[in-house]
Amino acid sequence: MAKNTRHMTQRLAADREGLATAAAILRAGGLVAFPTETVYGLGADAVNPQAVAGIYKAKGRPSFNPLIAHVADMDQARRECAFSPVAERLAEAFWPGPLTLVLPLAEHASVCDLARAGLPSLGLRMPDHEVAREIIAASGRPIAAPSANRSGHVSPATSAHVLADLDGRIDAVLEGGPCAVGLESTIVAVLDAHPRLLRPGGVPRAEIELLIGDPLLEGGGGARPLAPGLLASHYAPCASLRLNAEKLEPGEAGLDFGGRFSGTPQISGFRQMILDLSPSGDLTEAAANLFSHLRALDACGADRIAAASIPAVGLGEAINDRLRRAAAPRP
Ligand code: TXA
Ligand code: MG
Q: What is the pLDDT of residues 147-195, one digit of tens each?
A: 999 988 899 999 999 999 999 999 999 999 999 999 999 999 999 999 9
Closest alpha carbon to 10 in 155, 130, 171: 171
Report the alpha-carbon distance of residue 66 to residue 113 in Å, rounded: 9
Structural domains of the chain in order of their starting residue, each with its CATH number: 10-218 (3.90.870.10), 240-327 (3.40.50.11030)
- For the sheet with 240-242, list strands across it: 240-242, 304-307, 252-256, 274-276
Separation of CA 265 from chain center: 36
Mean pLDDT across the chain, nearest whole number? 90
- Say if residues 110 and 71 touch (Cβ distance below 8 Å): no
241 forms beta bridges with 305
| Average pLDDT rounded to a whole number, residues 40-52 | 95
The dihedral of CA 36, 81, 136, 6: what is its sign?
positive
Average pLDDT over residues 256-272: 77
Where does ligand 1 bind, in terms of residues with CB under 6 Å? 36, 38-39, 41, 65-68, 98, 100, 102, 116, 119, 121-123, 125, 145-147, 184-185, 187, 198, 226-230
Give the global pTM. Answer: 0.87
What percentage of the chain reaches a pLDDT higher than 90? 73
* pLDDT score of 146 more than 60: yes
The three-class DSSP label of residue 228 is coil
C-alpha distances in Å from residue 171, one per residue of 44, 107, 142, 225: 10, 32, 18, 33
How far away, in angstroms, is 39 Cα from ligand 2 center? 9
The number of the ligand 1 atom at minimal distance from the alpha carbon of 100 is: 3
Q: Please say if the pLDDT value at position 6 is more than 60.
A: no
Residue 224 confidence class, pLDDT cut points 50, 70, 90? very low
Q: pLDDT-derived band of residue 61, with 50, 70 and 90 as boundaries?
A: confident
Distance 147 CA to ligand 2 centre (A): 4
Q: Give the number of whichever ligand sits closest to the CA of residue 231.
A: 1
CA distance 79 to 38: 24
